[in-house]
Structure 1
C-alpha cells in the first residue's frame, strides 16, 4: 500500500497536576482537557495505582459515555489540519489530572483512529506523565 502524504501527527498525554516547576501544558494545535467531563478511574481504589498500560484502565476509560465521540471528533479535527496546504507536524495534547489514566488512553485511541482511517503510521504518542506518582486528592 502506498504511504500517506498526510503530515505527521504527535499526540502527547499529560497530567495538569504535574504542570508546575518547569513542566507545562504541551504546546499543541488541539488541547483536550478531560478533567471535569469524563469519569476518572482514579476514584476506583482498584484502578488508582494502575495506568493506561493496564487493560482494566483502558476498558474503564473507553466505556465512559462521550469518550468514543470525543476520539472521533479529535481524529476528524486532525484530518482537517492535515487537509491544509502545509506538511508540518500536527500536534495534539490530551490532559487529565494525573496523566496516568484518561489522557494516555484517549491519546492512544485517537492515534489508533487516525492510523485506521489513513492506513499510515506517521502518528507518535508520547505519554509524558504516565510514570509519575499518583496525585493525592
Structure 2
C-alpha cells in the first residue's frame, strides 16, 4: 500500500518541514485570524472549519493536491510521499486543509499519517 505523510504547520513558528509538496495557504485563502471571534479558536472548532472550507478555491486545491500526490506515488522511486501545508500560525487553514486532504487520500485507499506541528501553539500576535 502506498503511504503519504501530511504535516500542517505555521510559517510564523519556523521553517516548513521537508516535503515533496509544500502548499502555502497564506495569501490566497480566507484567514480566520483576522476575525476577532475566530482568532483564538482552532481547526477543531466548527466556525473556523466552515470559514476555511467555504473559501473559494479550497476544494479545487484539495483535488489538485490529491492529483499531485498520485503522480508522485506512480513515479519510479518507492517510499512515502510527504505533503506539508502551511498557513501563518498553523492553527486554522493548514490543519483543516491537511485533515481534508488526508480524508480524500484515504478514500483512494492510501495509508495516510497526519501531524499538526503547530496547532496547539499560542496564537501569534501580528
Measured against the shorter chain, the TM-score band is: over 0.9
Structure 2 residue aligned with 1:42: 33
The 5 Å alignment of 1:1-137 reads 5=1, 7-19=2-14, 24-116=15-107, 118-120=108-110, 122-137=111-126
SS at match of 1:13: strand
Shift of 1:86: 2.9
User: Which protein is bigger by CA-based radius of gyration?
Assistant: 1
**5+ unaligned residues in a row in structure 1: which ranges?**
none
Report the TM-score when normalising by structure 2.
0.96
Report the TM-score when normalising by structure 1.
0.88
* Aligned alpha-carbon RMSD (Å): 1.0
Task: List 4+ stretches of structure 1 deviating above 4 A.
Answer: none
Shift of 1:78: 0.3
- Find the aligned partners of 2:4 and 2:109 in 1 and give their Cα distance: 13
- Find the aligned partners of 1:70 and 1:76 in 2 and give their Cα distance: 10
**5+ unaligned residues in a row in structure 2: which ranges?**
none
